[in-house]
Amino acid sequence: MKSRIAIGEQLTSCLVLLLLTVVFTGCGGPSAPPPSESQKSEIAQKSVEAFIASAKKKPKSAAQELSVLMESLDAYASEYEGPYIELRDSAKELLSLYQSSAAKDKIQAQLDVLKQKAAALSSASS
């Protein structure tokens, strides 16, 4: 049962990455418009929120899931800069906390920072 759940989580992560790839590569030919600011921020925000929800349910697998999310956040930061750099940097800090086996309260505080940075994307794109 647990392996089915883990496979489901991996599949969800892969689907999110696939969606991000499709959106950012402009799949659909030259007639496809680039994603709007609100679309970019919405996708990033939902990805971060999904990670945070998963990290709270399964803290032991959070570092691995965050590594996958970091790939997308790195792409956002290099492509769109601005608030996406702050979001990526917050995620990097969280990853270092997971890797150093930091206390739960420090991890929770950084999860809150990451959530705030993701929420700020929607106000920055308005």
pLDDT per position as a tens digit, 55-109: 999 999 999 999 999 999 999 999 988 899 999 999 999 999 999 999 999 999 9
pLDDT recorded at residue 38: 82
Q: Are 49 and 118 in contact (CB under 8 A)?
A: yes
pLDDT score, position 42? 92
Residue 54 has pLDDT above 60, yes or no: yes
Residue 71 DSSP class: H
Question: Among 3, 49, 41, 51, which Cα is nearest to 20's?
Answer: 41
- What are the residue ranges of helices labelled H in the chain? 2-25, 37-57, 62-80, 83-99, 104-124
Q: Work out the average pLDDT over 10-22.
A: 56
Whole-angstrom distance, CA of residue 69 vs CA of residue 103 = 22
